[in-house]
Amino acid sequence: MGTVMQYQAQGNEDRHQRWDRLERADLLAQYGDLQTHGLSQRQAAQALAVPRSTLQAWRASHARLDERPVVVAFFRSVAGLAFLHRLVVALHLVYTEVGAGGMRLVCLFVRITGLDRFVGASSGTQHQVNRRVEEAIVAYRQEESARLARDMPAKDLTRAHDETCTGGLCLGGIDPVSNSIVGEQEALARDQDTWHALMDQALAGLHRQVMQSTSDEAPGLLASVEHPLGAHHSPDLFHVQHELSKAVSAPMALTQRAAAKAATQAEETLKRVQESLDNAHDEPTTRRPGRPSKAMPCLAQMAHEVEAARQEHQRLSAQREQVTQSMRAIGHASHFVD
């Protein structure tokens, strides 16, 4: 009697207990094994120290799922739950962190595959998962940076800097050789002192010395590289090509379009004159015999003008293409790192 009362008291306490899914799957697997070995439901529940009603409710929830029993059995097992957890984390890593798919595609994937029978597919549920994934990424970076910095050999470093203004000002820098983010943080300004503080924080503990910086021509960036670091500054390729494009490509494009328009107009004028001559030949003529025609020299002159306009357009097109290829060659020749 005392054992029964003690078990009932324990059951009342366990009624408010929450088991995680892996623990629940393990308990259900043990529950089934104990029954296979001849124990009753009550005896198996007592052996596991779990209320029999709780175990029965777990089994009933499995039976209500609209899926084949073998699939339910797998995803409710310890191995199946571990795989499901790994799959959902991988979806968030690939869709929202590595790619730009967003969390809505994760929810859509879960619903289409039918995994919403085993894992929540709402935005709120997946938002919590995504937040934990991002926290794990940040924690991993901090731990690995500290671990790798201890054995890192001394080396000169080239930094590439820029700022973004999406959702607020954010300053960032990368190592172009390894393509890794060295520093990234929100800021209220982008002056010399703010950039210098970011560099100091990012390089703290690393055996690295900045010997070159690549960025746009922002005054704060230039000053932070020149004075505190004493490093060399290289302009980024985009702004070099952009300035050349404004100074050369845009005027050349305007001239090329004007030449194309002139060639088209000359061809249309020649066509109209040719049609007028054809119509005149079909009509009775009142011209006196022996009088020379003035239309032929005019037609030949216009054909010559059309050919000249075409050649001018082709010349400008070839010249513009040569300038475009030369600007692209800057990208192949002007690299601030090997």
Q: DSSP string covering 85-140, please?
A: HHHHHHHHIIIIIISS--HHHHHHHHHHTTGGGTS--SHHHHHHHHHHHHHHHHHH
CB 106 within 8 A of CB 91: yes
CA angle 96, 100, 101 (to 5 degrees): 70
Task: Return per-residue pLDDT of the chain as tens, 338 residues.
Answer: 333 333 343 444 444 456 667 667 677 677 677 777 777 777 777 777 777 777 667 666 666 666 778 887 787 788 888 898 899 999 999 999 998 888 899 999 999 988 888 888 898 989 999 999 999 998 998 888 888 888 888 888 888 888 888 778 888 888 888 888 888 888 888 888 888 888 888 887 777 778 888 888 888 888 888 777 778 887 777 777 878 888 888 888 888 888 899 888 888 888 887 877 777 666 655 555 555 555 455 777 888 888 888 888 898 888 888 888 888 887 777 666 66
Q: Where do we find the tokens 């845009």? A: 250
- The pTM for the full model equals 0.48
Nearest in space to 76 (alpha carbons), one of 55, 94, 49: 55
DSSP-H helix ranges across 157-249: 192-203, 219-224, 237-244
**153-235 CATH fold:** Nucleotidyltransferase; domain 5 (3.30.420)
Give bridge partners of residue 320 from the DSSP assignment: none
Reading the block at residue 289, the tokens are 């015999």
Instruction: Tell me the domain boundaries of the chain.
Output: 2-64, 78-147, 153-235, 237-275+303-338
